């Protein structure tokens, strides 16, 4: 089994992927490339971050789910504890994944006011930069300090909120889409715009006492003000009430489309 996730080795996505699958791990440098590799049959599994408790959605992952046909087979929730890593105590640039830089914005302002920051494709890519250049520090998991040339851990737990957690989703080819699991995800493109549309789309769940765990609107890319809705619910597709609710949503979206991502269970991993 080959799992593809955000690389190089040492990213938080890599850690989440290892927690759910101990097979071969391959790396890509964008969420889109990971989802595309699974949709095209180049990898059996993909693991991408979708939401962080401080910074919110990883929009690139959501947009990739709307673009490529894949099945969501598991949710992985993991606490994220960032460290500042560098060759020595002085540096003039801090580099990391944009989400990690944002999660530590307050801490950086307080301890290194005015320091330059630069976003790179992943936290581990930032660590590579710090290994190559003594003027660069990186934000990432503290274990990156010892994997390879030694780096100093200048500070630990630098995220702005101690309860920093990220949700990752594991995806598989559509043939593995399941109806079993306590949560389900789907994407609705109603291709319509009238007062009360969103209310109508959500009523089928309220009427059946199904809890929504997330609703996110993303631009459809068609025209300004036109949206695709990403909806997660705390119910499985094996339940009649879920199938009935989604049938109602499909009727409302008759001029657009509904993409079923599948039902799955959630696992919290501490790593
Ligand atoms: O760059 C990484 O390590 C990732 O896996 C993306 C990410 C960045 C910050 C928090 C969670 C995931």
- Domains of the chain as residue ranges with CATH: 2-79+164-176 (3.40.190.10), 83-156 (3.40.190.10), 183-265 (3.30.70.260)
Looking at residue 164, its pLDDT comes to: 87
In the beta sheet, which residues pair with residue 139? Answer: 84
Q: What is the CA 69 to chain-centroid distance, rounded?
A: 17
Instruction: Kindly report the pTM of this predicted structure.
Output: 0.94
Nearest to 96 by CA among 59, 38, 140, 162: 140
123 close to ligand 1 (CB < 6 Angstrom): yes
Looking at residue 149, its pLDDT comes to: 78
What is the whole-number distance in angstroms between the Cα of residue 97 and the centre of ligand 1? 6
What is the whole-number distance in angstroms between the Cα of residue 164 and the centre of ligand 1? 12
80 close to ligand 1 (CB < 6 Angstrom): yes
Q: What is the CA 258 to chain-centroid distance, rounded?
A: 21
What is the whole-number distance in angstroms between the Cα of residue 140 and the centre of ligand 1? 8
Task: Determine the atom of ligand 1 nearest the C-alpha atom of 10.
Answer: 3
Non-local (6+) Cβ contacts of 88 within 8 A are 134, 152
What is the whole-number distance in angstroms between the Cα of residue 229 and the centre of ligand 1? 24
C-beta separation of 255 from 191 below 8 A: yes
Task: Determine the atom of ligand 1 nearest the C-alpha atom of 164.
Answer: 10
What is the 3-state composition of the chain as percent helix, strand, coil, each rounded to the nearest 5? 30, 35, 35
Looking at residue 163, its pLDDT comes to: 84
Looking at residue 198, its pLDDT comes to: 94
pLDDT digits (tens, 9 = 90+) for 130-168: 999 999 999 999 999 987 678 999 999 999 988 889 999
Residue 39 tokens read as 């949709």
C-beta separation of 74 from 46 below 8 A: no
Pairing of strands 71-79, 56-57: unpaired
99 close to ligand 1 (CB < 6 Angstrom): yes
What is the whole-number distance in angstroms between the Cα of residue 220 and the centre of ligand 1? 25
- Ranges of residues in the chain whose predicted pLDDT is under 70: 148
Backbone φ and ψ for 98, nearest 5 degrees, come out as -55, -35
Nearest to 34 by CA among 56, 2, 10: 2
Helix (H) / strand (E) containing 126: helix 123-132
In Å, how far are 12, 20, 54, 221 from 269, measured between CA atoms?
12, 9, 18, 35
């Amino acid at each position: 089994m080959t799992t593809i996730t955000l690389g190089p080795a040492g990213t938080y996505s890599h850690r989440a992927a290892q927690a759910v699958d101990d097979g071969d791990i391959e790396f890509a440098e964008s969420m889109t490339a990971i989802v595309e590799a699974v949709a095209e049959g180049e990898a059996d599994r993909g693991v991408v971050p979708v939401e962080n408790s401080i910074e919110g959605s990883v929009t690139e992952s959501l947009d990739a789910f709307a673009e490529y046909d894949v099945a969501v087979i598991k949710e992985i929730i993991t606490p994220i504890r960032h460290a500042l890593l560098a060759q020595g105590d002085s540096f003039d640039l801090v580099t990391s994944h944009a989400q990690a830089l944002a999660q530590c914005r307050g801490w950086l302002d307080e301890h290194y006011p005015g320091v330059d920051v630069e976003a790179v494709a992943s936290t581990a890519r930032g660590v590579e930069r710090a290994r190559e250049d003594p003027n660069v520090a990186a934000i990432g998991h503290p274990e990156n300090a010892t994997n390879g040339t030694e780096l100093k851990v200048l500070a630990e737990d630098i995220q702005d909120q101690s309860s920093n957690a990220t949700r990752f989703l594991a995806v598989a080819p559509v043939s593995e889409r399941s109806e079993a699991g306590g949560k389900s995800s789907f994407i609705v493109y109603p291709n319509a715009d009238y007062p009360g549309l969103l209310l109508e789309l959500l009523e089928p769940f309220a009427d059946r006492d199904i809890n929504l765990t997330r609703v996110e609107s993303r631009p459809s890319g068609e025209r300004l003000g036109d949206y695709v809705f990403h909806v997660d619910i705390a119910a499985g597709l094996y339940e009649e009430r879920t199938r009935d609710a989604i049938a109602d949503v499909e009727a409302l979206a008759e001029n657009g489309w509904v993409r079923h991502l599948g039902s799955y269970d959630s696992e919290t991993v501490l790593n």
